[in-house]
Amino acid sequence: MRDTAIVEAELRHLETQIERLERGELDPELFKKLRLQYGIYSMRRAPAAYMVRVRVPLGIITPEQLEAFADACDTFTPTHTCHLTTRQDAQLYGVERHRVTTLLRRLAGVWLTTREASGNVVRNVTLCPWAGVAPDEPFDITPYAQAVSGYLLRNPLTQILPRKVKVAFEGCPTDHARIAIHDIGIAAALHKGQPGFRVYVGGGLGPTPRAAQLLEPWTSAEYLLPTIEAVLRVFDRHGERKNRARARLKFLVEQLGWSEVQRRVLEERQIVWATQSGHALTALNACPTPQPTRRPVPSIHLDGVRAKTIERWLATNATEQQQPGFACVIVRAPCGDMTSAQLRGVAQLAREYANGVRLTNEQNLMLRGVRIKACAVLYEALKTLGLAEPGSRRLMDVTRCPGAESCLSAITSPRGLAEAIERLCRNGLSAWADAPLSIKISGCPNSCGHHHIADIGFFGVALKVGQRHVPCYQILVGGRTAVGQATFGQRLARVPAQRAPEAIKRIVTYYFEQRQPEETFAAFVDRVGLAPLQAVVQDLTDHTDAARDPTLFVDLGTTEPFELEAGKGECAE
């Protein structure tokens, strides 16, 4: 949204309400409803400081915006870092209440907003980061995603929905965007040479995951916006508004049945088409691809060891584009976190070597339009920033939510487990560190870390032993998605957090020792079943001996005794 008058009016209103809250004139519960519309969350053990979630529309971010985030990290956060999320957003932690609107004004100066990053609205629309450069895409879906994202932001229809709605666009046959786990998932599809879509409705994760279902065989480009608006109208009209635990769109599908939801949406679409103007998206032209910087590539001497190191990095982190001579390069953000210095460094490298930057739903960054012959020089530059780790979308590239570090809902702190897995991949599982296995971790059952769709997923739980609680992880195996399909991980075992790294080591080792040639982990789980894998970790599941092993009362990555503090998180608001 680039209407500066509207943005400033919103920020003045928010500023006024913060002042009223500080004077005791505004009910904190009423203020919470307002701030959540601006992506402003309470933090655990920090009543006067907030987590601020910033929308990065479609995950497309400019060097100037990266630098704005860097400045925000230095100016407004105590840790000088930000966290990249699975929804291609960025989060800032520890922002003091009286400085919130100052932060939001600075972000608005580079066309970033926190509006509708939270609340019962359409959240940030996400997009496959390979859109526009993937060799096998039928067409560039980016302009359609941009049109939808712009239409939905601040749209009155989306402001008081029964619950949040998540939308994702995918242009590739490979399901990078994970459209089947979204309320509305949209995949590019040609029909008789014309661009259009397959629209999926009713997906979602959380404690009760559901896969989205195909609305109709093919949706033409002109019907895309009317279709999305029809889904939102049906949800707004019939969605649950009393029991928030049953308020997502997936539960409306469950309540009415898919055929009935399908019928109502298609009927409503005809009403939208007949009564609204400006909805039709005709065949939009592909977004012009900016020309990469033609900076001379300095020559570097590579000895045998350095050459092998770069070769490994290229094999896991670089993908050739449809544009000859160019590649996409994944920059791994450790645990999804970026320091202000790293943000500034990536911004400068993007100017010098790339023609675009995307945030990915695996909590990394992608530099696009990198000349293949410049990749070795780019690697050396990233290494100085601590960002030249290989293993993108591999075993060592762990996705995790912030967990109990900040979230009110969380039980465990996934960072500790993610760091332990990183160490394992260097010592213990190094032979398989680059294997295409996914590990995803959430601090509670809500699946912010996407644990349901990982090869090996974890979510935090707590089990009582005597008068105390042991932090634990429920392990799931065999999750994955394909375009329009989702297979959710099966529950394997529940282990104390301190034993989770050993469980990972045993599961991965057993898989590689017992698999058939080229057998994926998901196929392996389908073939052998749960019993053999359960046997491998069975001795790790006993938490009753915690009285004899006091380390089990401590979460991974911490030194203090574990205390169960999880309450009602604002992600449920």
Class of domain 399-572: alpha beta
**Looking at residue 295, what is its pLDDT?**
56
Residue located via tokens 């029809």: 230
Cα–Cα dist 510/538, whole Å: 14
Distances (CA, A) of 241 to 183, 236, 249: 17, 9, 11
The per-residue pLDDT of the chain, averaged, comes to 93
Q: Chain-centre distance of CA 242, in angstroms?
A: 28
Q: Among 53, 91, 75, 67, which residue's Cα sits nearest to residue 341? A: 67
500 touches 417 (CB < 8 A): yes
| Domain chopping of the chain, boundaries | 4-108, 126-275, 304-384, 399-572
Alpha carbon distance 106, 118 (integer Å): 20
The verdict on domain 304-384 having CATH code 1.10.287.3610 is no
What pLDDT is attached to residue 163?
A: 96
Superfamily of domain 126-275: Sulfite Reductase Hemoprotein, domain 1 (3.30.413.10)
The whole-number pLDDT of residue 307 equals: 86
Distance CA 233, CA 155 (A): 12
pLDDT of residue 532: 98
* CA proximity to 62, closest of 278, 365, 339: 365
pLDDT computed for residue 166 by the predictor: 98
Are 190 and 37 spatial neighbours (Cβ–Cβ below 8 Å)? Answer: no
Inter-CA distances, 306 with 303, 375, 376, Å = 5, 13, 10
pLDDT at 385: 98
In a 3-state reduction of DSSP, which class is residue 424? helix
For residue 82, give the nearest of 95, 97, 69 by alpha carbon.
69
- pLDDT tens-digit readout, 149-199: 999 999 999 999 999 999 999 999 999 999 999 999 999 999 999 999 999
DSSP 293-351: P-PPPPP----HHHHHHHHHHHHHHEEE-SSTTEEEEEE--GGGEEEHHHHHHHHHHHH
573 residues of the chain, pLDDT tens digit each: 467 899 999 999 999 999 999 999 999 999 999 999 999 999 987 778 999 999 999 999 999 999 999 999 999 999 999 999 999 999 999 999 999 999 999 999 999 999 999 999 999 999 999 999 999 999 999 999 999 999 999 999 999 999 999 999 999 999 999 999 999 999 999 999 999 999 999 999 999 999 999 999 999 999 999 999 999 999 999 999 999 999 999 999 999 999 999 999 999 999 999 987 656 666 566 566 555 555 555 555 566 778 899 999 999 999 999 999 999 999 999 899 999 999 999 999 999 999 999 999 999 999 999 999 999 999 999 999 999 999 999 999 999 999 999 999 999 999 999 999 999 999 999 999 999 999 999 999 999 999 999 999 999 999 999 889 999 999 999 999 999 999 999 999 999 999 999 999 999 999 999 999 999 999 999 999 999 999 999 999 998 887 788 999 999 999 999 999 766 667 644
The answer to whether the CB of 328 falls within 8 A of the CB of 338 is: no
Query: What SS3 class is residue 388?
Result: coil
* DSSP SS3 for 198: strand
Q: What sign does the CA torsion over 104, 106, 109, 111 have?
A: negative
**Counting beta carbons within 10 angstroms of the beta carbon of residue 487, is it exposed (0 to 12), middle (13 to 18) or buried (19 or more)?**
middle
> What is the DSSP annotation of 35-93?
HHHTTEEEETTEEEEEEEEEB-GGGEE-HHHHHHHHHHHHHH-SSSEEEE-TTS-EEEE
N-term to C-term CA, the chain: 24
- Residue spans of alpha helices (H) in 77-202: 100-108, 142-152
pTM of the model: 0.95
Task: Give me the torsion for CA of 85, 91, 94, 99, rounded to 10°.
Answer: -170
**pLDDT (0 to 100) of residue 573:** 46
Between the CA of residue 414 and those of 37, 287, 495, 501, 562, what are the distances in Å?
Answer: 27, 38, 14, 12, 14
126-275 matches 304-384 in fold:
no
pLDDT of residue 3: 77
- CATH numeric code, 4-108: 3.90.480.20
